[in-house]
A and B are shown apart, each in its own frame.
Chain A
Amino acid sequence: MPGLTLSSGERWAAHGVAGLARSRRIAETSMLIGAACVLSFIESALPPVAAPMPWLRVGLANVAVVMALAYSGTSMAAAVSIGRLVIVGLATGGLAGPGSVVAASGALCSLAVMGVLARHRRVFTPVSWSAAGAAAHVLGQFAAAAALLGSTDVWRLAPPSGLLALPFGALVGAIASTVASRLPHGRWPNG
C-alpha cells in the first residue's frame, strides 16, 4: 500500500508468522509422506488384487497424495508422491532401477491428470480425481515400460489394467475423502 511503512518489530512479526506457516506446511507434507511410505510398505506385503495381473495394485499410498492435493494443491501432492517414491526406492534398493522409472512415469501422469481435475472442485470430487489419476498412472507406467523394453507388445495389457484401476482409484479417493472429513480443519472440499 502506498505510504505504508512497518516498524522493525512489525517486520519481524510478519516474518515470524510467515515462518510459522512455512513450518506448518513442511510438517504437514512430511506427515503425509510418512503415511504414504507406510501404506506403500503395507500394500507390498499383500497379495496381488488380480492374479492374472500381478503388477496391479490398489494404490493405498495414493490416499496420502489425494489428501495432499485436496488439502493444499498440486505442489504438496507432488512433494508427497515424489518423496514417497524416493524413500521407498532407497529403502528397497531400487531407486535408480527401471522399476523406479516406471513408477515415476506413472506418478507424474497421475499428478498431471489429478491436478487438472482438482482445479474444478465444484464439478469433480476426489473420488473421480483419484479414479482418473489411477487410469493415467497405469497408462504412464506402460508407456515407460514400452520405452524401456523397446517393445510395443506390453501395450496389449494396458486397457484391461486401466479399466481395473478405475474402481481401485475410486476406492482410494473415497478413503481419502472419509479420512479427511474427520480432520478438524475445514479446508476439505465438498464437505
Chain B
Amino acid sequence: MLTRGDRILLALTAALLLALWPLAAASGGQSGDRMVVVEGPSGRTAVPLGEEAELTVDGLLGHVHVQVSNHTVRVLDAGCPDRICERTGPVSSPGSVIACVPNGVVVRVEGRGDAGLDAVVR
C-alpha cells in the first residue's frame, strides 16, 4: 500500500518532469528549413531533410551509416553493441534526436517548428 508520502513524492516528481519538458524541448533548436545535422568525433555534416542522401560518418567504434530518405532520417548501421540508435527508427520532426553514445554521434533534425517558436533571441 502506498503511503501519503509516497503519493506526494510521485506527484511532485511527475510535476517536476512535466515542468522540465518545455525547457528541454527548447534546447538546441533553430529556425529555417529542416536540416539533418550529424555531429560526431570527425566533425559536423548537414544536409537538407528533403534530399535523398546516405551519409557515412566516423564514430569512435567505426562507421555510422545515416540515411536521409522520404523526408525522414534514420541510422542504418552503427556497429554499436545495443543498436539503440538503429532501433529508434526514422525521425522527421524538428528537434528530433537520434544519439549513438558508444560512437559519440548525434543525428538531429533542425528547423522551423522547434518548440513552436519561430526564433529564439538570447
Contacts and interface: CB of A to CB of B under 8 A. Distances in A.
Interface of A: 48, 51-52, 54-55, 92-94, 97-99, 102, 117, 120, 123-125, 127-128, 131-132, 135, 145, 148-160, 162-163, 166, 170, 190
Contacts of B5: 120, 123-124, 128
13 contacts: A124-B5, A125-B1, A128-B3, A149-B39, A149-B101, A151-B39, A151-B99, A152-B28, A153-B99, A154-B99, A155-B24, A157-B24, A166-B10
A153 B27 contact: yes
B101 A54 contact: no
A120 B3 CA distance: 12
B9 interface: yes
B17 to A, nearest CB: 5
A166 B81 contact: no
Nearest to B109: A153
Contact of B97 (A150, A157, A159, A190): A157
**Secondary structure of the B contact surface, majority rule:** mixed
A155 B13 CA distance: 17
B4 to A, nearest CB: 8
Interface residues of B, number: 35
B72 to A, nearest CB: 14
B87 A149 contact: no
Interface in B80-117: 81-82, 84, 87-89, 95-97, 99, 101-102, 104-106, 108
B28 A151 contact: yes
B101 A148 contact: yes
Contact of B87 (A54, A125, A128, A148): A54
A150 B101 CA distance: 10
B119 interface: no
B121 interface: no
A128 B88 contact: no
A128 B99 contact: no
Contacts of B24: 155-159
A92 B105 CA distance: 21
A159 B17 contact: yes
A45 to B, nearest CB: 12
Which 4 pairs, one residue from A and one from B, show the smallest C-beta to C-beta distance?
Answer: A123-B5, A54-B87, A128-B6, A159-B21
Nearest to A102: B101
Given A128-B2, A159-B17, A54 B9 contact: no
Contacts of A132: 9-10, 13
A52 B88 contact: yes
Contact of B13 (A93, A98, A135, A152): A135
A155 B28 CA distance: 9
B120 interface: no
A98 B104 contact: yes
A91 to B, nearest CB: 12
B14 A117 contact: no
Interface in B59-90: 60, 81-82, 84, 87-89
